[in-house]
Chain A
Amino acid sequence: MTDAAPLLEVTDLATHFHTRNGVVKAVDGVSFSLKRGEVMGLVGESGSGKSITGFSIIGLIDPPGRVEHGSIKLEGRELVGLPVQDLRAIRGKTISMVFQDPLMTLNPVLTIGAQILLALEAHEKVSAEEGRRRAIAALAQVRIPEPDAKVDFYPHQFSGGMRQRVAIAIALLHRPKLIICDEPTTALDVSIQAEILAEMKELVAELGTALIWISHDLATVASIASKVCVMRYGKIVEAGPVLDVLTKPQHPYTQGLLDSLPSRAEPGQLLARGAGVSDAAPPPRKTAVERHEPKPGVPYFTMELVSKRFQEQPSPLRALLQKLGVAKPPHGVQAVDSVSLTVTRGEALGLVGESGSGKSTLGRMAAGIYAPNAGTVLLDGERVMSAGERPHKTTTRVQTIFQDPFASLNPRMRVSDSIAEGPVTHGIVTKAESAEYVRQWLAAVGLDPAFAERYPHQFSGGQRQRVAIARALAMQPDVVVCDEPVASLDVSIQAQIINLLIRLRSELDLTLIFISHDLSVVRHLCDRVAIMYRGRIVEEGPAGEIYDHPQHDYTKRLLAAVPVLPTA
């Protein structure tokens, strides 16, 4: 076979799911081809069919799903309709797959070495010693330090990035001709993602393996792939070399996706030509504005040397044993360590950090959800939480928007009740006025007021986040703590929610504390940025300054790790 012949040729592939509510055309006539050693990105938002395309190629479509028609040819051999045992011989050997969450795909009760041995035995006969030797070599290949010790570790002893490396090592075991990676870095921090991207790129070049990189993130695809297919509603809307597609997009959908990225817009501008912003104004504040006139000499919102340690309370017996020196105190985590922070009125402060940096804990202390072990949180010189044995929140002026709109709304309450509950309890509106008040807020966040009587499960993720925003703002707060409010949303929905936040912030004169792992979103929304690392703030300053002239090593590393889109 010559080099010019494609390794993989997918023609008019259609995979449908026959559900109780009708046929879902997850993949609907997809065609592309892949040469040997070529790296292709498959980009799309959730529900676009990008993952199902990957699963169809490797033959992992389970009922009620079915490959309806079309052909998948690997080196000229048709894979559609191949018997299960033949497919099994190909799977893992010629084509292998890396999934999003390695914690789900690695067996928690087997050592890494045992799992690699199993993967080897699936396709060849190997002795135990030979298997171990090759497992160590495989781990070394994916740059896992001390592979001869790590081979006896269990998955839980690895970090997320290391687990994903193990998954990649297993995928590479049999020198496959094609690897399909389904969102392999989505669950990882940016710095780990950067490492994996770089290593994957090297490995693929070294082994001559073709790669299909499935992702929702245009920037990661741009940094690894040479060509890209953009999918929507089960169809490829645009395909071509990465540089062409990303700098001169032809299809309006691709253009829209690119316009939705905060990294491509001027900070503070509405994204995607102001998509998702309604004209309805939020209802006027009932509480007199004069009441909250700034007090001279008192900083607006401050956190003074706050610390939070998560530690289990020792039982009385254990406490006694601890005193006698027999037992150790329970394991604890110092999430936030003596952090001081001041936010001025009307400012938007971005709190950036990777997972485990303590940014969410700090945000929850600012919002009065967690009581700090030490230090105080003050708004206009008044405590946000009461002191004492059972601290509780004492102000309604700080409200919170959470990350996951699926978890932050009570599933058994109509959204009208969720929104009206707080304002009615605190006398912002009367029970009689509440229905109209809820309708005004739904309109203000761009939802149909007629949706008031629905339950959360009847909304999409983006709509739910709008409800959550309405619920927080209906309390007429002065400070809003946003904990990753756009992290679990698709790019285009993310742009709409960012637009909504920009607009509501200026209309309501809000002070924002915006927590995010996404540096581009923070730059877009925030005036000032604080970088968190291991429970401390390592650097703080005006957004532009930090992004252009980072001082701390960690900030520099973080900024360097962010994948960058090619610009025209």
Chain B
Amino acid sequence: MDRASPFARFGREFAESRTALVALIVVLLMIGLALAAPLVAPQDPYDLANLPLMDARRPPGYVGSGGYTHWLGTDAQGRDLLSAILYGLRISLQMGLVAGAIALTLGAALGITAAYLGGRWEAFIMRVVDLQLAFPAILLALVISAMLGQGKLQLIAALAAAQYAYFARTAHGAASAERGKDYVEAAFSTPLPASRVVWRHILPNCLPPLIVVATVQVASAIALEATLSFLGVGLPVTEPSLGMLISNGFQYMLSGRYWISIYPGIALIILIVAINLVGDQIRDQVNPRLKR
């Protein structure tokens, strides 16, 4: 008989997939690097006094006036690209995680409330969600961030508003299914207060699909933020995320200085792919139909 808790079993199964394990390590590594950016980055890209213009647009491997090698080259202001990427990662991850967490909380609350209340309220909430899902997330995010203006908080609000609907729909589906199960009926027949049934019984059993959606949505929030910043409606110039780095280097692409855009782009791709791989594995494990 298996004595381990469900979480321990989950971890053991997760580790059986080599790809997912590597992806998880990559994600954790990138989060670690982002957190430790001020310690590991060779240069502080925000410190304008430290940016010698003579080092601008140098190719990877160039040894600059600071006496250290720019492994990924420098950008138009003479910034060390590796440092810029590490700091950019910090902002991108921050936006993705915070926006994802807000969207998760909001969406799960709405979805579970709708499933619990039923009737008119359920119909109303879910139709609003459906309506929103009919529009592409990028369009919504563009419109909202154009309305709210530039800034970190505004962008987080725009991302969360564009994404909560996915969580709401998942939570509603899961909660509707759980609501009809015997253990929920048993809780109601005890009787336990409705809030307790929702918090202690329905919510924990809705978490697996929500976690799956959350991983995928964090990745897509990061991509969305990059897109908005690339288009210039996202973060202000003082908060250079990966998207803005790509955008900054874009004008030099055709003049052979590929590295200014390409390396931030590669970092973004690795991050998003790794998060998605982790999400895929969690989904496979959560889905009982794929159980061996």
Contacts and interface: CB of A to CB of B under 8 A. Distances in A.
A402 B186 contact: yes
Contacts of A458: 1-3
Given A404-B182, A407-B182, A458-B3, A392 B191 contact: yes
Nearest to B3: A458
**Chain B interface, >50% SS class:** helix
B186 A471 contact: yes
A393 interface: yes
B185 A364 contact: yes
Contacts of A404: 182
B205 A455 contact: no
A369 interface: yes
Given A410-B183, A425-B196, A396 B5 contact: no
A457 B288 CA distance: 15
B136 interface: no
Contacts of A394: 191
Nearest to B117: A390
A419 B205 CA distance: 18
A412 B205 contact: yes
Interface string B197-210: 00011001100000
A131 to B, nearest CB: 34
A475 B183 contact: no
A313 interface: yes
Query: What is the interface of chain A mostly: helix, strand, loop, or mixed?
Result: loop
A368 B189 contact: yes
Contact of A369 (B1, B5, B188, B201): B188
Interface residues of A, number: 34
A271 interface: no
B190 interface: yes
Nearest to B191: A393
Contacts of A71: none
Interface string B1-18: 111011000000000000
Contact of A422 (B3, B190, B204): B190
B192 interface: yes
B67 interface: no
B205 A411 contact: yes
A399 B192 CA distance: 12
B6 A399 contact: no
A421 B205 contact: no
Contacts of A412: 6, 204-205
17 contacts: A369-B188, A392-B188, A392-B191, A392-B194, A393-B188, A393-B191, A399-B189, A407-B181, A408-B186, A409-B183, A409-B186, A411-B183, A412-B6, A421-B187, A422-B190, A425-B196, A458-B2
Question: Which 10 residue pairs of A and B lie closest in terms of their CB atoms, listed nearest first?
Answer: A408-B182, A393-B191, A422-B190, A407-B182, A412-B204, A410-B183, A400-B189, A369-B189, A402-B182, A367-B189
Given A407-B181, A410-B205, A422-B192, 14 more contacts: A367-B189, A398-B189, A399-B190, A402-B186, A411-B205, A412-B205, A413-B204, A421-B196, A421-B200, A422-B190, A425-B190, A425-B193, A455-B5, A475-B190
